[in-house]
Amino acid sequence: MCAATGLAGMAVGWHSLRMDNRDASELRRWLEEIAQIAAAVNRPVMLETLLDLVAATASRLLGYDFCAVLLPDPSGKALLIEGSYGLSSSYVRQVNADHPVMLETGGDTPAPSSRAFLSHTSVKVLDTVADTTFLPWGGVAREQGYRSMISVPLLVSGNALGTLNCYSRVRQSFGPRETELLAMLADQAGVAIVTARLREREAATIDSLRELNASLETQHELLRQEEAVHEQLTAVALQGGGVDGVAQALAALLGRSVAVTDEPSGELIAAAGHDGGVPAAPAGDAVVEGLDEAHRSAQAVIVDRHTAMVVAPVLLGSETVARMWLPGTLAEFSALDVRALEQATTVCALELLRSRTALEVEWRLSGEVLTDLLTGNPAAATTLTERAQRLGHDLLSPHAVLVAGGHGTGGGLSPHRVLSVVRSLASRSTPRALVTLVGDDVVALWPADQPSEPAARAEELRRLLRRADPEARVTVAIAPPCTALTDYPPAFRRARGALSMARSRGSADGVVSLGSLGLHGLLLQVEDAGELVRFADDMLRPLREQDAVRGTALEETLRVYLENDLNTAATAATLFVHANTVGLRIRRAEQLLGISTSHVLALAELQVALSADQVAAVSPGLESW
């Protein structure tokens, strides 16, 4: 019902009362008051303000001391005072909190407002003191100071929206004319409430649509900007800008310096500053807090415990091949910044894949040259020097043979993972070291212009392998530098033998050389492993025959006895036997060998025989590829 229709209905209703005194000024006053309610709906105002206005209008038009508008609570089980005039705020709070008008009384005497709401008829209380049905609300009536009240339902289309309650300090009869006028006012109030609610829902719908439209516009703009970012980074890839070009493009887009580091070495491979800023990237030994190696998107970290940075992995499949570093925290990055960073890592991965593809050809040629060189392949001997020169190597200048192997937790350091790390290090040298995979070990031929360079490279390689898997046991073996083609096969055999020996001795975690293996390193340099076998067998045959016939363990006991520096108690503890048993076995071994372990020369020969036997045990594996 519109406001104009409501006013017309009020005028008709007024005339229908057939009052004796048809005072035009009184009708005008009523129409003006009702018009204020209609104007409030059209402005519009908050529902609470409108309800206060309805209560104030009823008080002014009919001279009541207090008025209130009650509406159902969200549960629909009680009526609460939502608008009032003349009532104290404490009274309103007390009624709503402690004495709400219950619509479901459960057998108790319903309140006047409840009866009016449910019956759709006006309910009068002529004397709140004398009316026994009003006893439950007598206290609040006395506190507020009213003696009579009337509750009129707010009806719209036959449905009750609430009640209009009017209170008087003195006893009042609420005659038919007064009651009918209140009912007419309640009808207008009901229409106003419905209209106000519709306007509120309409306003909420408009606000929701406005927010949705703004969100769509924001998303559209974000997509447009993302497309622009994608076009710029794609242009870098199409123009072959490389990782440097990606870093420069991202620095310009985000207004931040960008650094790209290799994995697992942590070496800086590209950098781009912004406004003169120096690109920052953690050094290989920097402390990085909060870095989750398994994280596949940008994350916040702290470098050296004071510098906040954002780092994003560059992935090729499931392998992290590089990382992009930018100063700041993720909170400083907008959604578009994060998206640009993610796209930059994708383009960077493509650039690294392109360079890797080009390197694969070189690595294949490198592996072929190295394989022919280390095996001493006579068919390839005439072309080896020329093929190596094409790769930047003069095989007549000093080169060291490095053999690397490792065992990671959970298979983290597979041979191919070790190969990838060695190639990553080799690609940063000029010329690139020759690298190939032999069995489960990785072999590298490194220029050794400086005597200390092979050991430094081996230690650096070990550091990178440990970075790839901190729990791994990593060994890198070095053979002395070679200066002739014929030097390389035996150098490889010795380095690989040193690696195998370190593993067999349980010390496969470090850099080993022939010198660091002592007597074993010296024996590894014997060209014919068969000579070692024959020497060991000639000296140890009596023990072996006795062990085979009698089932004794004389050779093992003698070996452990020497390893424990002739300490009987330590030997017994290692073999889990009594010390007297060790003493008896040693004396019996001395009798069979015709020597005494107290003689230095005999002890030295015995040690050589046992060591030769250990070296010979790893020698068969040196010829397998």
Write out pLDDT tens, residues 527-549: 666 676 777 777 788 888 888 88
**HEC string of 77-133?**
CEEEEEEEECCCHHHHHHHHHHCCEECCCCCCCCCHHHHHHHHCCCEEECCCCCCHH
The three-state secondary structure class of 148 is strand
* CA dihedral (54, 56, 59, 65) positive or negative: positive
Are 147 and 129 in contact, with CB atoms under 8 Å apart? Answer: yes
Tens of pLDDT, residues 27-49: 777 777 777 777 777 777 788 88
- Digit-coded pLDDT (tens) for 151-201: 999 988 889 999 999 999 999 888 888 888 888 888 888 888 888 888 888
Rounded Cα distance between 344 and 301, Å, is 19
Backbone angles phi, psi at 352, to 5 degrees: -65, -35
Token reading at 579: 């010390």
Strand order in 66-72's β-sheet?
101-102, 78-85, 66-72, 159-168, 148-156, 123-125
371-429: pLDDT as tens digits: 888 888 777 778 888 888 888 888 888 888 888 887 654 555 788 888 888 888 887 77
**d(C-alpha 601, C-alpha 268), whole Å:** 56
Residue 268: C-alpha distances to residues 265, 284, 313, 428, 459 (Å): 9, 9, 14, 11, 19
> From residue 567, how far is each of 9, 150, 516, 611 by CA, in Å?
120, 113, 24, 19
Residues in the chain: 625
Three-class DSSP category at 299: strand
Long-range CB pairs of 43-49, under 8 A, 24+ apart, other chains included: 44/196, 44/199, 44/200, 44/203, 45/196, 47/82, 47/193, 47/196, 47/197, 47/200, 48/82, 48/83
Bond prior to 279 in cis (omega within 30° of 0):
no
Task: Please give the Cα distance from 104 to 91 (Å, whole number).
Answer: 22
Give residues with Cβ within 8 angstroms of 78, minimum separation 6: 72, 100, 101, 102, 103
pLDDT number for residue 152: 92
Q: What angle do CA 238, 351, 408 make, to 5 degrees?
A: 165
The pLDDT of residue 625 is 45
Please calculate the CA angle 222-224-229 and round it to the nearest 5 degrees. Answer: 90
Tens of pLDDT, residue by residue over 489-501, are 888 888 888 787 7
Helix 579-593 / helix 568-575 crossing angle, nearest 10 deg:
110
Output the pLDDT for position 368.
Answer: 87
Instruction: Identify the segments of the chain with pLDDT beneath 50.
Output: 1-12, 14-21, 409, 620-625
Residue 12 is predicted with a pLDDT of: 45
